[in-house]
């Protein structure tokens, strides 16, 4: 086991609760980090402006997967406006910290969620 990660990071990495894909999502966010190669997808089900369900698929290191899972926990049940305010510090704090060289994983998570919300709003404007 890698001791540079907190127990919370390893637990989220080894047993993510929110991994998967939502069929017929209301929104999808996808981003990748060109520096490390991580790729993150976020799938949202939205009802009455609230995130009713959120899932992720992440190709990346333990920190990226743990950050994705924790982000889902933080966003579920929140309004879109509340979810947009979730940032990398919120994710890192919920994980009990990340090694400095892995903080970019929490940044990618926050940006991917915002990307999904932006895509949802664009889709709603077009409809």
Find the DSSP H helices in the chain: 7-14, 62-75, 80-84, 88-94, 103-126
Among residues 36, 39, 61, 103, the one annotated as catalytic is 36
Among residues 27, 74, 95, 105, the one annotated as catalytic is 105
Angle at 93 between CA 90 and CA 94, to 5 degrees: 85
61 is catalytic: no
72 is catalytic: no
Query: CB 89: neighbour CB atoms within 10 A?
Result: 12
Per-residue b/e over 1-30, b at no fewer than 16 CB within 10 Å? eeeebbeebbebbeebebeeebeebbbbbe
Catalytic amino acids? 36, 105
């Amino acid at each position: 086991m890698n001791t540079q990660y907190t127990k919370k990071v390893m637990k989220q990495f080894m047993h993510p609760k929110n991994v998967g894909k939502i069929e017929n999502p209301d929104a999808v966010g996808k981003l990748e980090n060109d520096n490390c190669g991580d790729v993150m997808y976020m799938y949202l089900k939205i009802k009455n402006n609230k995130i009713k369900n959120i899932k992720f698929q992440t190709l990346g290191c333990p920190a990226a997967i743990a950050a994705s899972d924790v982000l889902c926990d933080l966003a579920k049940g929140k309004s879109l406006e509340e979810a947009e305010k979730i940032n990398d510090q919120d994710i890192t704090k919920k994980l009990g910290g990340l090694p400095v060289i892995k903080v970019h994983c929490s940044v990618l998570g926050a940006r991917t969620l915002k990307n999904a919300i932006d895509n949802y709003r664009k889709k709603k404007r077009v409809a």
